[in-house]
Structure 1
C-alpha cells in the first residue's frame, strides 16, 4: 500500500507549486527516486488535463558521463536539453541521492565544462517555466541528518507539506522591507558584513520553487560587499565536503577564502571572474528545519539562518548582473545555539538571534 503522503505531495507540487493548467507540457525530471513518486506525479498531471514528459536519471551513470565529457558531446546533449526546455510550461525535479559525494572525483576541468554547457538550460528553466525542485528521502539522507530512515521520512513530509500559503502575508511584508532597504549590516561570531540592496527587488519563496521552502531572497549590489563572514553550517559543493568556511570581501570581491579545505574552496572560487562575487542574499525561516545536513535545499531554509551565495545571480529576477558557472549557497545560522547574531536594515535591527523583531514579521519566527 502506497504511503498517502506521496499522493498528497504530488498533488501539492502540481496544483500549488507549479499551478499546472489544462494543456501544459510538464517535464518530470527524476534523479534516483522511486517509481512511486513518478507515477503519482504523472497521475496528477493527467488529472489536470496536462501532458507529462518524464526523464529518468541515474547519478552513477551521470558521473561516468561527466568524467569523460568532451565539448562536442556536451554541446549536442545540452542543445537537446535546451530545445526540450523551450517547449516546457512547467518543470518538476525530484532528486534522490544515495551518495552526496558521488561527483567528488570528477576532474575539475570536466566539471567546469559540464556546468558551462548546462547554464543556458538552467537559465531557460528558471526564467521561462513554472518550476519546482525537491529532494527525495533516502537512507543516505537520513544518515546525513543523523536520523533513522523512518524518522527522516516523517521529517521530510512534515517540512515539505508545510502550509506555505499561511506564511505568505508575513513573507510579503519581509519582501517589501527588503525592497526598500539600502544598507544591510550583519553581525555575529566572526562576522561583520556590510552591503547595499539599493535598486534590487526581493522574491518571497513559499513553496512555489523549492520544496521544502521558506525564504525571501534578493542580491547585493555587486561591488558593495565589505567585511568578513564566517559560515557555521557544513556544506557540500561539487561533491566535496566543506566546514568552517570564512570569506573576506573588498569592493564586492572575495579577496580571501579559508575552510577545512582551503585549496579546494579557492579552486572553485577561481572557476571564473564572477565566482568571487555574490549573486544572492537570502533569509531563511522554515520553522520545522533546525539543523544542517549538508543538503542545501533543506539547509538554506533553516530557521534563523541566512545564506550569502558566491556566483551566479538569478537573471531577470533578483539580478545584480553577476555571471558565473558557480552558484554556491553557503549558510550561517544565527540562533543562540549557534552563537547568535543580528541583521540590520538601514540602521534598524530586524532580526536578533534568529528571531524577527518587527511585528509584521513575527509569524515567520
Structure 2
C-alpha cells in the first residue's frame, strides 16, 4: 500500500527545501537500505523535473561491519571514495537518515567511535566548503525505521505518524504550510537578531551573551526536514554563566549524564558529569573552539509532543533549546571552527525567559508574540 505522505515528503524536499530544477545533479544518500521508499519517490520526482539523480545507499549496519572486518584504524576513518566524489560534484545533496540500528556505535570503545566519526567529518568539511562557496545546496531528512521507533518506545506505525506530523507532510499542502512557518519564525528572528545582550535564564541555565552584528538563522525546512527552529551564534568570547543539560547529552555515541558547564569569557571554565567524563575531557581539549558555543537552537515546532531520542526531532520541539559546542553554523555568522560539534538539550518550558536588550522575546520556551497556524 502506497503512503501518500512519502510522495508529499519528496515533493516538499524538491520544490520547497531545495528548489531543484532541470539539469541539476542530485545525490540521494540514504544511510541505510530502509530509506528505499523515499529514495524511489525522490528518484522518480527528480526525473519528472528533468533533474539527474544519483543514489548512494549505505550498507546495513555499516559501522559495525567496518569495525568487525578490520583492525586498521586508517580504514575505520576512511570515507568511501565514490561518496567523496559525489560530494564534490553534485549540485544538490539529500541525506536520508534511515538506519535500522541508529545507535549501534554506543556499544563500541570510544576510540572506535571517534574513528568512525572521522570518516563522516571529512564529508562534512567538503560540504561546508562548498556551501560557503555557494556551489551546493543540501538538506538532511529522516525516514522512519524500526530502529528509531524502538528507541522512541513506539510502534513503527505510531512513530511514522509522528515523523509526518513534525514534517507537516500529514497536511494536504506541506509546501504552503512550511512557507507559513518561515514567515512566522522570521518575525521572531527579527526580534533577536543583533542583540547586544541576550539573557537566557531558567531552571537549568543562566547565560548572558552578545549577538551583536549577527543574524538569526530561520531554520524552516530548507536545510533540515523535519525543522522549525531558530539558530543563533553568540559572539565567541561573550558567553558567561552556567547551563545544565536536560537529560542525557550524547557526545558522538557516548552517553554523558548530569552534564553541567560554566562559561567565562566565552569558553568552558568548569564542567562536571557523572558518566562520559573521559570523552568530554578529550573533546574539550581538541582546540580552543571546542570549548566555546558554536550554535544555539530554539525549537518552535509544536508537532513533536516530547523527546523521542532522535536529535533531528528533539531539537525542534517547541520550548526546547539545543546548545552545540565547537563547530558553528555558517548562516548564523559563527566564527567557531572546530572538528568538534556536539549538541545537548535544555528544556526551557519550566519557568524561563529569553530577553534581548531588555525586551522579553520568549517566556517558558514560547515566543511572547503568538505564531500563526501552519495550515
Q: Same fold (TM over 0.5)?
A: yes
Give 1:59 shift. Answer: 5.3
1:150 counterpart = 2:165: no
Match of 2:284 among 266, 269, 273: 269
Q: Which residue of 1 aligns with 2:59?
A: 58
- Contact 1:183–1:345, Cα closer than 8 Å, also in 2: yes
Match of 1:363 among 363, 368, 372: 372
Q: CA RMSD in A?
A: 2.4
- Bigger mean CA deviation after superposition, 120-129 or 325-334: 120-129
Give 1:72 shift. Answer: 8.1
1:288 counterpart = 2:293: no
- Bigger mean CA deviation after superposition, 104-113 or 18-27: 104-113
Mapped partners of 1:328, 1:96: distance in 2: 20
Give 1:343 shift. Answer: 0.9
Which residues in structure 2 correspond to 1:57-136 (within 5 Å)?
Answer: 57-58=58-59, 60-65=61-66, 68=71, 70-71=73-74, 77=79, 81-104=83-106, 105=108, 107-108=110-111, 110-111=115-116, 113-114=118-119, 117-124=122-129, 126-127=131-132, 128-136=135-143
Mapped partners of 1:59, 1:186: distance in 2: 42
Mapped partners of 2:23, 2:39: distance in 1: 19
How far does the alpha carbon of each residue in 1:106-153 deviate from its partner, in whole angstroms, 9 at most, with x for none? 542524643553442231454432211112212222222222221111
Mapped partners of 1:159, 1:116: distance in 2: 28
Mapped partners of 2:367, 2:236: distance in 1: 26
- Contact 2:77–2:117, Cα closer than 8 Å, also in 1: no
Match of 2:354 among 327, 335, 343: 343
Mapped partners of 1:144, 1:112: distance in 2: 21
Mapped partners of 1:147, 1:126: distance in 2: 36
Q: Which residue of 2 aligns with 1:218?
A: 232
Mapped partners of 1:147, 1:72: distance in 2: 36
Give 1:214 shift. Answer: 0.2
- Bigger mean CA deviation after superposition, 104-113 or 235-244: 104-113
Q: Which residue of 1 aligns with 2:25?
A: 25
- Contact 1:63–1:106, Cα closer than 8 Å, also in 2: no
Q: Which residue of 1 aligns with 2:12?
A: 12
TM-score by length of 1: 0.90
- Contact 1:82–1:120, Cα closer than 8 Å, also in 2: no
Mapped partners of 1:70, 1:153: distance in 2: 37
- Contact 1:78–1:117, Cα closer than 8 Å, also in 2: no
- Contact 2:237–2:267, Cα closer than 8 Å, also in 1: yes
Q: Which residue of 1 aligns with 2:40?
A: 39
1:201 counterpart = 2:203: no
Q: Judging changes above 3 Å, is the alpha-carbon distance between structure 1 residues 63 and 126 closer, same or farther for their aligned structure 2 residues?
A: farther
Mapped partners of 2:64, 2:225: distance in 1: 25
Give 1:27 shift. Answer: 0.5
Mapped partners of 1:68, 1:123: distance in 2: 30
Mapped partners of 2:206, 2:273: distance in 1: 18
Match of 1:278 among 275, 288, 293: 293
TM-score by length of 2: 0.87
How far does the alpha carbon of each residue in 1:11-56 deviate from its partner, in whole angstroms, 9 at most, with x for none? 1111111110010100000111332111111001101100001101
Mapped partners of 1:158, 1:69: distance in 2: 43
Q: Judging changes above 3 Å, is the alpha-carbon distance between structure 1 residues 119 and 158 closer, same or farther for their aligned structure 2 residues?
A: closer
- The unaligned stretches of length 5 or more in structure 1 are none
Mapped partners of 1:106, 1:233: distance in 2: 22
Give 1:333 shift. Answer: 1.7
Give 1:216 shift. Answer: 1.4
- Bigger mean CA deviation after superposition, 89-98 or 262-271: 262-271
- Contact 1:171–1:204, Cα closer than 8 Å, also in 2: yes
SS at match of 1:99: coil
- Contact 1:302–1:333, Cα closer than 8 Å, also in 2: no
